[in-house]
Structure 1
Amino acid sequence: MSTDYQQARTALGVRLRELRAACPEGRLTGTQLAERLGWTQSKVSKLENGRQTATADDLRAWAAATGQPQTFEELHARLRGFESHIRSWRRQLASGHRPVQDTWNELVSDASVIHEWEPAMVSGMLQTADYARHVFTRYAELQNSPRDTEEAVRSRMKRQEWLYRPGKKLHVLLWEAALRSLICPPSVLAAQLDRLSGVIGMDTVQLGIVPLDASLRVPAADGFWVFDGRLAITEDWHAELWLDDADTIATYQRVWRSLKESAVFGAEAQHVIAQVRRAPTG
């Protein structure tokens, strides 16, 4: 967990403790507040000491139980402030992949220009349904999350309608390794590669492939997305990071431009895809 995230959670805990002490009816002990809320005393302690992340419902209940319901908006703003930066997969996937996909659909729908770098698998914006199905299955197994694969696939496919809307532009760079990764059966991968070949030349898509033997100015590290130059999102195994400060976004934009210098486009990209398509899969 990042230091900034933990500091923000600790600061929220301090504020919760202040509200408990400032109850209009008189200072409440942690045990008394727990009894009012129907919680364990340990939950109150963990929240106040920054060892557990409160939910919006927790904060609403805390504000009401301490006789200060008007403070909920302040508390909720604090929560949104640090949760908007680190969104754990454990919490996001508690109800399955479909809600996460729906959130992304709203995000993409509001964007006009998206820049994306994918080093490990094909961009979700360009996936076939069969390829996406295998990706969701693998992640559900990893995260031990509810299996809502078909709903998640449908949501991801709906997102791709964005590609056929005028005024939109997807600039996506894929490392050649992503084209070769057998996250799915060879026949599914073959169809996925055909799909990639088919999007080259679309008005709304600029697809670049970074060959494995290309000289790189920066390492082919984690994938990321930049939305209209206002928001950057990257992923780790434990969480998504939503980053909206100007300096950080500028860094991701520089990385993208550096990777673009190593990419091939158009007929050259078609050639790389065709080579991978013809390669034996073992």
Structure 2
Amino acid sequence: MSTDYQQAREALGVRLRELRLSSPHGRLTGTQLAKLLGWAQPKVSKLENGKQTATPEDLRSWAVATGQPDACDELLARLRGFESHIRSWRRQLASGHKPVQDTHLAEHTSATVFRGWESSMIMGILQTPDYARHIFLRYAGLQQSPRDTEEAVRSRIKRQEALYDPTKRFHLIMWEAALRALVCPPAVLAAQLDRLAGAVGLDTVELGVIPFSASLKIPPATAFWMYDDTRVIVETWHSELWIEDAPSVSTYLRTWKTLRESAVYGADAQRIISTARQALRPA
């Protein structure tokens, strides 16, 4: 799927190529530029074709080597523009939810350490098929997108295979409200809570719950997901925000760690899940 992020990276590559070809010292080949920079030639090709994300130092070196140092500020502005980039739901969901789920599946395949915070529903990585089905149907209605519900459910459930990969670790926190939100029929939520209780025992999962009664250092606001502490994905009503610039990622990591201080784990988390489960039983 062509994303806003990839399109921005390709546009930067086009601009880099323009600078190489318009060097005041004479038109440079990729090989010549690579030699000037002390790089392997494939790196020049990858940057120009949007196959690799440039670092700020890459851009500064490129501008100087092509004899156009004044272009450096422009290049850095372009980079900042897509280090934190918006992927609109309108564009992403044009073909349904499955392509979005497949994108996240690919991210889960390549990363090893995950941190997540969710305040309003059970995290996708821990959802049952029935629960996920209701979530997709509700969002398809909201976004007026194609209903490829079963395909999206299968992709989301496939992502959960990572929970059983001993090389991966999931550090997850949810607010108690996420355990009680009736975004599906009570029977579906009951089964979901049973599934959640089982996840507490997985050796790859550290599952924390912030009780309603907990003292909070910060409000339990927007949900987010972190990959290897280098990328953050935040969902809003109109888009996904993919964040990769180090200062912003550090802010989310501090946020996660601050929320963690209010969470309970192990048997205490099990008790909160069990209490929410019991509240669903008919009087």
Counterpart residue type for residue 121 of structure 1: M
Does the 8 A contact of 2:90 with 2:143 survive in 1?
A: yes
Aligned counterparts of 2:83 and 2:129: Cα–Cα separation in 1: 30
Residue 254 of structure 2 aligns to which amino acid in structure 1?
Answer: R
Do the aligned partners of 2:186 and 2:280 also contact (CA within 8 Å) in 1?
no
Q: Which residue is equivalent to 1:238?
A: 238
**TM-aligned CA deviation for residue 250 of structure 1:** 0.6
1:160 aligns with 2:133: no
Q: What TM-score, normalized to structure 2?
A: 0.72
**Which consecutive unaligned segments of at least 5 residues does structure 2 have?**
19-47, 54-77
Separation in 2, partners of 1:229, 1:105: 17
Q: Which residue of 1 aligns with 2:102?
A: 102
**Following TM superposition, by how much is the alpha carbon of 1:82 offset from its aligned partner in structure 2, in angstroms?**
3.0
- 1:15-63: CA deviation from partner (whole Å, max 9, x where unpaired): 99xx9xxxxxxxxxxxxxxxxxxxxxxxxxxxxxxxxxxxxxxxxxxxx
* Partner Cα distance (2:162, 2:202) in 1: 13
Measured after TM superposition, the shift of residue 109 of structure 1 is: 0.8
Task: Determine the C-alpha separation between the residues in 2 that align with 1:201 and 1:278.
Answer: 20
Q: CA deviation at 1:152?
A: 0.1
Show the 5 A alignment for 1:172-191: 172-191=172-191
Task: State the partner residue of 2:224.
Answer: 224
Could you tell me how far apart the structure 2 residues matched to 1:204 and 1:122 are?
18
Number of residues of Structure 1 aligned to a counterpart in Structure 2: 220
Q: What residue is the counterpart of 2:88 in the other structure?
A: 88
Residue aligning to 1:45 = none
Where does 1:56-67 land on structure 2 (aligned, <5 Å)? Answer: none
1:169 aligns with 2:169: yes
Describe how 1:9-158 pairs up with structure 2 within 5 A.
Answer: 73=49, 82=82, 85-158=85-158
Percent identity of the aligned residues? 58
CA distance in 1 between counterparts of 2:248 and 2:157 reads: 30
Moved over 2 A (4+): 76-84
1:152–1:196 distance in 2 versus 1, CA, 3 Å: same
Distance in 2 (CA, whole Å) between partners of 1:133 and 1:82 is: 32
2:204 is matched with 204
Give the gaps of 5 or more residues in structure 1.
20-71
Q: How much has 1:81 moved relative to structure 2?
A: 6.0
Letter of the aligned partner of 1:167 in structure 2? T
CA distance in 1, matches of 2:129, 2:171: 21
- Counterpart residue type for residue 133 of structure 1: R
**Aligned position for 1:192:** 192
Distance in 2 between residues matched to 1:139 and 1:79, nearest whole Å: 32
- RMSD (CA atoms): 2.9
What TM-score results when the alignment is normalised by the length of structure 1? 0.72
Q: Please tell me the residue identity of whatever aligns with 2:237.
A: W
